[in-house]
Amino acid sequence: MFKGDSDSFILPLAAYAESLARQAGEVLISERNNQSFSLDYKRGVELVTTADLAADALIRAGIESVYPDHNILSEESAPDFSDPQALMGPLWVIDPIDGTVNFANQQPAVAVSIAFAVDGVTQVGVVHCPFMKETFTAIRGRGAFCNGQPIKAAHVTELRQALVATGFPYEKEGIPHLLQRLQQVMAKVQDVRRMGSAAIDICYVAAGRLGAYYETVNPWDMAAGYLIAREAGAQVGRFAKAKSLMPEELNGEHLLVASPPLFEPLQQILEPTL
């Protein structure tokens, strides 16, 4: 039986999630230092490395050994979220490498993202950045942390003062439209960043390093960061109504994470660009 609202359950689970993320991070460091990984492409366009698969296998085996009755949604080994009902109950949402292109190209913006949700409501979030030596964590209702220190979203009140992040998909067909959207945003904000890891972008909003982030992403890209940002005081939602029936906190469609005063002004800019 699941007893997720008790400290005796959730605190050890959160510590275990962080431990798994750190172990996976060590795999990534070793693979890159030794240049022992190889490259492949999913659907001919989306980069995947053997390091993704090794980190995924480590995390999955760790979860299954301790929580065998929990479900797993993983970018690499179990990516099907077409049935929202299958996401109910205890669910781990994992991305072994968020920022695979960065990883393969010696860039530091690489994250291991692990979330734990119950009935679509995220209870634990961990985003571990092994090459930047930062680990963002949150337990629902207990605040957000980076390397054990509390973090808070910035209170940016003017769009002109806001540094905003976004990203772009592997598929190139929609890029011209997304660039038009970006142009509308850039005309109103201080500047724009594109780091190549949604999980890190969201955590940077949580830590006050960015004023906002917007993009449409998959559940494993945003589930952990969603909770971390919310617990840090950011406003988390979407800039347009989602078409998917996914649970709200696992739905990356039209995602918008922002300093609260910036949320509505950015909605007003972004929604007409759909």
Complete DSSP assignment for 234-266: -EEEESS---S-S-GGG--TTEEEE-HHHHHHH
Start-to-end CA span in the chain (Å):
43
Is 97 annotated to bind a ligand? Reply is yes
Both tokens of residue 218?
Answer: 């998959």
Alpha-carbon distance of 50 to 251, in angstroms, equals: 27
Note if 7 is an active site residue. Answer: no
Strands 163-166 and 212-215, by their bridges, are: parallel
**Tokens 């994470």 sit on residue:** 257
221 is catalytic: yes
Is the Cα torsion angle 12, 15, 17, 20 positive or negative in sign?
A: negative
Whether 49 is catalytic is no
The answer to whether the annotation marks 114 as part of a ligand binding site is no
Q: Does the annotation flag 221 for ligand binding?
A: yes
How far apart are alpha carbons 110 and 176 in whole angstroms?
A: 26
- 201 annotated among ligand-binding-site residues: no
Question: Do 2 and 88 meet the contact criterion of CB atoms below 8 Å apart?
Answer: no
Distance, CA of 96 to CA of 74 (rounded, Å): 8
83 is catalytic: no
Distance CA 23, CA 59 (A): 8
The active-site residue, picked from 75, 76, 231, 253, is 75
Catalytic residue, candidates 52, 56, 201, 221: 221
Is 208 exposed, middle or buried, given 0-12, 13-18 or 19+ CB atoms closer than 10 A?
Answer: middle
Residue 264: both structure tokens together: 């509505």
CB 228 within 8 A of CB 206: yes
Place of tokens 């080994």: 77
Identify whether 75 is a catalytic site residue: yes
Task: Examine the residue annotation and report whether 95 is marked as an active-site residue of this protein.
Answer: yes
Catalytic residue among 31, 98, 231, 253: 98
Q: Which residues are the active-site residues?
A: 75, 95, 97-98, 100, 221
Annotated binding-site positions for Mg(2+): 75, 95, 97-98, 221
Annotated binding-site positions: 75, 95, 97-98, 221
